[in-house]
Amino acid sequence: MIALLRGLPDEERARLAPETLTREPSPMLAVLAPEPFSDPEWIFEPKLDGERVLAVCDGGELRLVSRNGKDVSGSYPEIPDALRASWRVGPEEPTDVGCHAALPAFVLDGEIVAFEETITSFSRLQERMRIDDPVKARESPVPVYYYLFDFLHLDGYGLVEISLRTRKHLLKEVVSFSDPLRFTPHRDGEGEALHREACRKGWEGVMAKRASSSYLHARSSEWLKLKCVNRQELVIGGYTEPRGTRTGFGALLVGHYEDGELRYAGKVGTGFDEPTLERLARRLRAKERKTSPFSSQDARSLAKEDVHWVTPALVGRFGFTEWTGSGKLKHPRFLGLRRDKDPHEVEREVPHG
């Protein structure tokens, strides 16, 4: 066992378990909270608007893995470089399970972001997400940063059963943080104050996490989202014809799954620049179909000549002001495509508790 782990308090060290890494570990996911709160048993972090990524080092390589198991290392080649250069703790004995003689096997959790001035911007990050060639990614004018906030595995031992607070302590011990690697700051107990600050500064919101919680490879109420602005992933099921000088398409028809059916949630016609309209229009035309993917009731209400149906394979991220009483988005706007979410996982977010 690596010296850093041997130095843990007895009760935490007893929770360590020998572990063989899986090829595609899955991240812990949060649920939506009804309102901000404060609690000394919880920690509160900024909610970042980027791409959730696990850094996995084993089997001779260091790779970046999205929440749906896709290797996204080509989009962000500077991140593995920085992790190799900033790692502080070597393996107990060099083995072939690490990703380098000087690096142990590990799994880290975090969010890769780009900034628009001082605010993380998913729209700007799209410019990097569309690149999978590491040479072109290094030439991109969009800098990215990896905000690390959790630690799942180290040198053959799973860390998921030890407390979140201890996992964060270990994370600060193993990584020397400098750009593009950043430690995600957190505040103990004062969730309401941080939420007010977040909303004043234009952040997406705050993450609340129970300080004593284990890491679950699933969605859990031990992690909560406290939002300042409404954002939601939705599935694209169709589009309308452009009008006037508009190119590509007019609006997207979007929805979410409920009881196995794709329920219509409204049209989205804003948030697109010309390159996005052209690029997305090509992808939509390639997925056209004759029948509506929406529930039969929704399909009847949408039966218009200018509607084109598409196979519901693309997931977008959308901002909006609120849900209407009929379950539609009010004042929606397109923020970008998600490449890390299965369409059938897309459900309407509702507050927990």
Residues forming the active site: 47
* Chain mean position to CA 282: 25
CA-nearest of 339, 151, 220 to 207 is: 220
Q: Which residues, 6+ apart, have CB-to-CB distance to 302 below 8 Å?
A: 238, 253, 264, 292, 294
3-state helix, strand, coil in the chain (%, to 5): 20, 35, 40
The Cα 336–Cα 340 span in angstroms is 12
Tokens of residue 155, six digits: 């040198």
CA-nearest of 329, 288, 335 to 315 is: 335
The Cα 59–Cα 259 span in angstroms is 40
Before 27, cis peptide (omega within 30)?
no
CA-nearest of 51, 110, 69, 76 to 317 is: 51
Tokens 């996204």, residue located: 72
The Cα 281–Cα 221 span in angstroms is 38
Contact 108, 54 (CB under 8 A): yes
